[in-house]
Amino acid sequence: MSRQFLPEWHRQWGILLAWPHEETDWLDNLAEAQACYIELAHAITRFEHVLIICLSEGHQVAIRSALGGRGVDLTRVHFETMQYDDTWARDFGFITVFEQGKPLLLDFKFNAWGGKFESSADDQINQNLFARALFKHNTFEVQPWVLEGGSIETDGLGTLLTTEYCLLNPNRNPDLSRSDIEAKLGAALGVERILWLSRGSLEGDDTDAHIDTLARFVDEQTIVYMRCSDVTDSHFDELQAMESELQLMRQPNGQPYRLVPIDMPVMIESDGRRLGASYVNFLLLNGAVLLPVYGDAEADEQAIEAMSKACPDRAIVPINCRALIEQNGSLHCITMQIPEEVASRES
């Protein structure tokens, strides 16, 4: 491979966050969302750095104060000030590949999951970041087609896992065929084979079935996936069919993947609508997994046990993400990892 798409378990410098504020969709539950972000930043800084995008110097001061009050290690917290529409860093954040042993930061077009929301400022975030001291020593590349980080998973060995519902949706790249998209993924990311899921989706999901809510690599041989065991649940048929597809998939060496299921959360509703809660929307850190939980003690504990089985060498750190799913996303959706080689040591 001339390029290597880095897996999430590649050694990280830190995690990118965009802090919720009154001009985002978080306005109706801003205090709860910010409390979740504070807990998330506290957890991240136990293991690595966090880079926070904020609106202004005053906004930065307020965030720093809130983090300090929680006991966050502020020496591991970094800020960049710029305009942004919303906070879904997984999908507007740059995607890192290695080319000839050096990081290459890819800036894909972001259109807010098919034009569902305003995204012009979010689509400029990477170009703004690339000009800042933390990143400007890197090589960058603009990819003028739509791709969101939450829609793709890799084993780091040239395999990409994704969904047809999302990548083949005409609201992203209407002029590209399946073969066109496969070719572009190969050229941009260096992937040599693509595993397509044709089934699997969640109610309350704006992303058109992002893979990071459904099935995730945690190492080269292991996929953690969402399972529905309740035959009365509206997700049962789709997730059973997805499970069958995963069982038929093979590693590059021809062996089946080690599959670790996590039963989906008990149904959570708000104002009469079902929220897209997923335990699979976890984040891998250096030596840890941040696992979204939703306030159901029994279901949350079962998810923690499953993740401990999948990642026995990592600390499992639960983060209550009930506030996040009010806006149809969760923990992985609001984060993007920054590989160790990318951040400047002088910043």
Tens digit of each residue's pLDDT (9 = 90 or more) over 25-52: 899 999 999 999 999 999 999 999 999 9
Residue 56 above 50 pLDDT? yes
Residue 29 forms part of a structural domain: yes
Strands 102-109 and 139-146: parallel
State the pairing for strand pair 12-18/49-54. Answer: parallel
Q: Which two tokens stand for residue 139?
A: 């090589």
**344: in domain:** no
Dump pLDDT digits (tens) for 252-277.
999 999 999 999 999 999 888 999 99
Within a domain: 346: no
345 lies in a domain? no
Q: Is residue 330 part of a domain?
A: yes
DSSP at 207: T
Is 280's pLDDT higher than 90?
Answer: yes
* In contact, 162 and 211? CB cutoff 8 Å: yes
Whether this prediction's pTM lies above 0.85 is answered by yes
Range of the domain at 10: 3-339
pLDDT at 346 over 60: no
Return mean pLDDT, the chain. Answer: 96
Distances (CA, A) of 188 to 12, 56, 142, 150: 21, 34, 10, 16
Mean pLDDT calculated for residue range 281-287? 98
Domain count across the chain: 1
Specify if 62 maps to a domain.
yes
Q: Which segments of 135-276 does DSSP mark as H helices, in order? A: 164-167, 178-189, 236-248
pLDDT at 347 over 50: no
Give per-residue pLDDT as tens, 79-104: 999 999 999 999 999 999 999 989 99
**Contact of 188 with 4, CB cutoff 8 Å:** no
Does 344 score more than 80 pLDDT? no
- DSSP for 294-343? -S-HHHHHHHHHHHHHH-TTSEEEEEE-TTGGGGT--TGGG-EEEETTTS
CA–CA distance, 263 with 279 (Å, rounded to integer): 8
Per-residue pLDDT tens digits for 148-160: 999 999 999 999 9
Query: Could you give the dihedral angle defined by the CA atoms of residues 132, 134, 136 and 142, in that order, rounded to the nearest 10 degrees?
Result: -80
pLDDT tier for residue 204 given thresholds of 50, 70 and 90 = confident
Please report the pLDDT score of residue 23 as a whole number.
Answer: 87
Q: What is the CATH number of the domain that holds 223?
A: 3.75.10.10
Is the model's pLDDT at 1 over the cut of 70? no
Percent of the residues in the chain that have a pLDDT greater than 70, as a whole number: 99
d(CA 292, CA 331): 6
**Residue 75 has what DSSP assignment?**
G
DSSP state of 338: E
pLDDT of residue 25: 85
Q: Which residues are catalytic?
A: 333
User: What's 102's DSSP letter?
Assistant: E
Residues 302-313: what's their mean pLDDT? 98
38 within a domain of the structure (yes/no): yes
Is there a domain that residue 335 lies in?
Answer: yes
